[in-house]
């Protein structure tokens, strides 16, 4: 993946808590002869009166799933499906939050499967400890009047984790670790598969000091994505490495610039999977003129 995205938005705010925004998301992929390779419309209403927030329309996907692990949504989703089409509702107090969201990803037609996500996530802090939960249900039905009958898929995925954060208090930077239980339930209704159960353990540790950071993610358990060979990334939006029973990813990154307007980050990743080692590199520059850049 390599390219540039331009995401202008303009809107109207009234009574300090109501806002309507309209914009576009334009992507140009490096090497392409087209000026614009992908075009997405952004248009949404937002009610924001702390601690409550409600958004409805077509709005940036990061609002709802930014904190979800790659187990649920791989990196490319934020580039090629940047907008969530539906609603998002959240209650937040400090670091604690609870939200629920709906994303309609496919309107049924002769060429498009009917599909939508229904998700929720939350976090609760107790001193240096925290509990987090992520989940979604993905409904993936057939196309309109299919030539060959297709089974309707129900896909549930859950992650509940307990963590510790020693940032600032005991470490002059960021130091966090968590351990979580992964549970998956999925079925193909017309194929009479019954509910297929998956379970696993997900461990993550992150350390940052000044501009240098290290994040390691380890998974062991069931091989997820039961029907991947039939539907691939149409049915599963998570990182395909979780099809393996054991995997490990180590990210080493440098934050050359981190401010309210500009982030420049270089990441080198190592993947340990099925007895092999893979590597990837990412250089990402984000410029946000309204001064609300988030990591």
d(C-alpha 4, C-alpha 27), whole Å: 6
Say yes or no to pLDDT of 294 above 60: no
What's the CA dihedral at 110, 146, 150, 143 to 10 degrees?
10
**Residue 171, helix vs strand vs coil:** strand
Residues 106-129 pLDDT 10s: 999 998 999 999 999 999 999 999
pLDDT > 80? residue 253: yes
Q: Which of 184, 191, 189, 220 is nearest to 203 (CA)?
A: 220
- Give me 26's structure tokens: 């334009």
b/e for 56-92, b at 16 or more Cβ within 10 A?
ebbbbbebbbeebbebbbbeebeeebbbbbbbbbbee
Mean pLDDT of 208-237: 94
C-alpha–C-alpha distance, residues 58 and 44, integer Å: 6
The reported pLDDT for the residue numbered 295 is 40
Beta-ladder partners of 205:
177, 216
Q: How far apart are CA 162 and CA 177, in angstroms?
A: 9
Q: Are 99 and 88 in contact (CB under 8 A)?
A: yes
Q: What is the mean pLDDT of the chain?
A: 93
**Interval 140-159: pLDDT, tens:** 999 988 888 888 999 999 99
What confidence category does residue 291 fall into, taking pLDDT thresholds of 50, 70 and 90?
low
Report pLDDT digits (tens) over 156-192.
999 999 999 998 777 788 999 999 999 999 999 988 8
Query: pLDDT tens digit string along 56-92?
Result: 999 999 999 999 999 999 989 989 999 999 999 999 9
Place of tokens 């009047």: 145
Say what the pLDDT of residue 206 is.
Answer: 96
How big is the chain by its Cα radius of gyration, in Å?
20
What percent of the chain lies above the pLDDT cut of 70? Answer: 98
Q: Confirm if 120 and 89 have CB atoms less than 8 A apart.
A: no
CA angle 100, 104, 108 (to 5 degrees): 155
Pairwise CA distance, residues 127 & 187, whole Å = 40
* Beta-carbon count within 10 A of 113 CB: 22
- pTM reported for the whole predicted model: 0.91
pLDDT level of residue 293 (50, 70, 90 thresholds): very low
Cα separation, 243 vs 240, in Å, equals: 6
The pLDDT value given to residue 251 = 97
pLDDT category of residue 33 using cuts at 50, 70 and 90: very high
Instruction: Compute the residue count for the chain.
Output: 295
Q: Looking at residue 94, what DSSP letter applies?
A: T
Q: Maximum Cα–Cα distance for the chain, whole Å? A: 62
Share of the chain above pLDDT 90, in %: 84
Write the DSSP symbol of residue 167. Answer: B
Contact in structure between 250 and 273 (CB atoms under 8 Å) = no
């Amino acid at each position: 993946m390599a390219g540039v995205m331009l995401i202008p938005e303009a809107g109207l705010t009234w009574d300090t808590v109501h806002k309507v925004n309209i914009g576009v998301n334009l992507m140009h992929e490096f090497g392409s002869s087209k000026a614009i390779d992908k075009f997405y419309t952004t248009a949404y209403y937002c009610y924001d009166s702390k601690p409550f927030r409600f958004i409805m329309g077509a709005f940036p996907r990061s609002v709802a799933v930014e904190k979800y692990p790659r187990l649920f949504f791989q990196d490319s989703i934020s580039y090629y499906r940047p907008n969530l089409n539906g609603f998002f509702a959240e209650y937040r107090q400090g670091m604690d939050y609870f939200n629920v969201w709906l994303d309609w990803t496919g309107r049924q037609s002769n060429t498009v499967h009917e599909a939508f996500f229904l998700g929720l996530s939350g976090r609760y802090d107790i001193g240096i400890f925290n509990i987090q939960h992520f989940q979604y249900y993905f409904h993936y039905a057939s196309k309109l009047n299919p030539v060959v009958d297709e089974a309707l898929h129900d896909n549930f995925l859950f992650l509940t984790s307990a963590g510790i954060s020693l940032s600032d208090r005991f470490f002059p930077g960021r130091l966090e670790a968590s351990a979580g239980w992964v549970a998956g339930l999925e079925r193909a209704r017309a194929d009479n598969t019954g509910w297929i159960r998956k379970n696993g353990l997900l461990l993550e540790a992150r350390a940052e000091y000044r501009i240098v950071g290290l994040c390691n993610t380890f998974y062991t358990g069931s091989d997820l994505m039961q029907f991947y060979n039939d539907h691939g990334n149409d049915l599963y939006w998570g990182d395909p490495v979780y099809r393996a029973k054991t995997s490990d990813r180590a990210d080493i990154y440098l934050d050359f610039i981190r401010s309210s307007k500009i982030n420049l980050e270089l990441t080198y990743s190592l993947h340990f999977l099925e007895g092999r080692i893979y590597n990837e590199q990412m250089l990402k520059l984000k410029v946000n003129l309204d001064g609300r850049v988030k990591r």
